[in-house]
Amino acid sequence: MPRYKLVNGEQIQFTAEEEAQKDAQELEWSNSAFDRAIADLRYERNNLLAETDYLALSDNTMSAEMTTYRQQLRDLTNGLTTVEDVNNVVYPTKPNE
């Protein structure tokens, strides 16, 4: 199916060159789906770790539950190989501080 672009409100059909360029772009996007998913997961996981970083300071004794929670977060990406794996990840429940 041909692609179109809207230029100043006017619909114009893609040229063959634009079609080829877009096809290549779509393939690249598809091939990098897992990389994007795992990167988003790591980013979210790191945010959650950062929320409890202050509990790991040397003048504080971390509870066993919090230690487990943080380790579960670190292990979250282990064994993930597909986008579906990433989408099915369940985050551990944060214990009371």
Partner 1 sequence: MSELKVNKISPRSGTDVTLGDSGDTFTLPTGVTLDASNATTTLPATVVTTTGSQTLTNKSIDASQLTGTITPSDNTVSLAKLTATGTKDATTFLRGDNTFAEAGGGAYEKLVTTNITSGSVASVEFNSTYITSAYRDYRIVCSSIAISANDELQLKISDDNGSSYKSTNNYAYGTRGFKSSNSPTNKQSTGNSYFVIVPNTFKGGSSDKTGSFIIDIFDPLNTTTFFTASWRGTIWDSGDAIIGFYGGGTFNTNASSAFNAFKLDTYSSNLTIGAYTLYGRKI
Q: Does 7 bind partner 1 (CB under 8 A)?
A: yes
Secondary-structure percent of the chain, ordered helix, strand, coil, rounded to 5: 60, 10, 30
Q: Does 85 bind partner 1 (CB under 8 A)?
A: no
Over the Cα atoms of the chain, what is R_g? 22
Considering only residues 33 to 72 of the shown chain, the ones binding partner 1 according to CB under 8 A are 36, 40, 43-44, 47-48
Q: Is 93 left (phi over 0), alpha (psi -120 to 50) or beta?
A: beta
Q: Does 90 bind partner 1 (CB under 8 A)?
A: no
Binding site for partner 1 (CB under 8 A): 3-9, 11, 14, 22, 25-26, 28-30, 36, 40, 43-44, 47-48
